[in-house]
């Protein structure tokens, strides 16, 4: 009989499964993500993944939920740093880019592929947290009078510009001399100028 794993060991193996699934999904497509293939990738028995997830969809949802929560946590920590709203917004941008660079497969799976379980409670909660986090730094800048804007829409504008810059960096398609941060700084600067306080 297999030895019962501790809670820490179980979580560590789930994390390994999720990382392998994200890599396969992004590099080889959805069809590559099977529990048998994952078992082979991780060097474990064929039936081992079934002890942790019921099927492929459950694994992909887990990748998204874990990714969204870790992503949100990184941005929340960045926002909770000293400085005015603009400085904290830059910290959020840098944390965003760092997450995408360090977790590229998971990042792409979070945003680049169709969602399969939108009604999953854990996914819905993580997704809602992510969107609250995306606009939180905008709320701060509005409160400080740095910008005058509708927070949800302006947050989406900032996010769209940053996501685009990150995806271009991942694809190696940025102009020479630019990275995601420097390209986004120019784009965001235009948005901030347009949303700046209007002279009375």
Whether residues 1 and 89 share a domain: the answer is no
Check whether residue 40 and residue 93 sit in a common domain.
no
Q: Show the CA angle centred on residue 137, arms to residues 133 and 139, nearest 5°.
A: 100
Asked if residue 135 and residue 99 are part of one domain, the reply reads yes
In whole angstroms, give the CA distance from residue 166 to residue 183.
9
In this structure, what CATH number is given to the domain that contains residue 106? Answer: 1.10.357
- For 86-120, the pLDDT digits (tens) are 999 999 999 999 999 999 999 999 988 777 777 89
97 and 191 both lie in a single domain: yes
The yes-or-no verdict on residue 145 having pLDDT over 70 is yes
Which tokens sit at 67?
């990714």
Asked if 13 and 108 sit in the same domain, the reply is no
- CATH number for the domain spanning 15: value is 1.10.10.60
Task: State the average pLDDT over residues 40-67.
Answer: 90
114 and 179 share one domain: yes
Residue 117: the pLDDT is 75
Share of the chain above pLDDT 90, in %: 67
Query: Domain check: are 100 and 163 in the same one?
Result: yes
- What domain count does the chain have? 2
Residue 65 located in a structural domain? no
In whole angstroms, how far apart are CA 170 and each of 116, 159, 182?
A: 24, 16, 14
Same domain, 95 and 187: yes
Is the alpha carbon torsion for 40, 43, 47, 53 positive or negative? negative
Taking the C-alpha atoms of residue 103 and residue 63, their distance in angstroms, rounded to an integer, is 11
User: Is the same domain home to 148 and 186?
Assistant: yes
b/e code 43-71 from CB counts within 10 Å (16+ = b): eeeeebbeebbeebeebbbbbbbbbbbbb
Is 63 a member of any domain?
no
Half-sphere exposure at residue 82, Cβ-oriented, CA atoms within 13 angstroms: 0
**Overall pTM > 0.85:** yes
Question: Highest mean pLDDT range out of 39-43, 74-78, 152-156?
Answer: 74-78
Q: Is residue 200 part of a domain?
A: no
Asked whether residue 62 is assigned to any structural domain, the reply reads no
Task: Report if residue 59 sits inside a domain.
Answer: no
If asked whether residues 103 and 32 sit together in one domain, one would say no
Domain with 35 in it: 1-53
């Amino acid at each position: 009989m297999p030895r019962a794993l501790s809670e820490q060991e179980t979580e560590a193996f789930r994390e390994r499964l999720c990382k392998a699934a994200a890599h396969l999904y992004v590099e080889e497509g959805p069809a590559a993500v099977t529990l048998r293939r994952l078992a082979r990738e991780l060097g474990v028995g064929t039936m081992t993944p079934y002890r942790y997830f019921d099927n492929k969809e459950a694994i992909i949802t887990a990748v998204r939920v874990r990714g969204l929560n870790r992503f949100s946590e990184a941005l929340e920590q960045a926002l909770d740093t000293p400085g005015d709203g603009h400085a904290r917004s830059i910290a959020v941008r840098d944390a965003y880019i760092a997450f995408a660079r360090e977790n590229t497969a998971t990042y792409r799976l979070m945003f680049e592929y169709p969602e399969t379980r939108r009604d999953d409670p854990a996914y819905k909660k993580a997704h809602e947290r992510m969107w609250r986090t995306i606009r939180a730094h905008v709320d701060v800048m509005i409160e400080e009078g740095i910008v005058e804007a509708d927070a949800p829409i302006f947050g989406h504008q900032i996010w769209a510009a940053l996501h685009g810059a990150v995806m271009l960096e991942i694809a190696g398609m940025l102009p020479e001399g630019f990275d995601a941060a420097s390209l986004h700084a120019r784009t965001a600067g235009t948005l901030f100028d347009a949303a700046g306080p209007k002279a009375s």
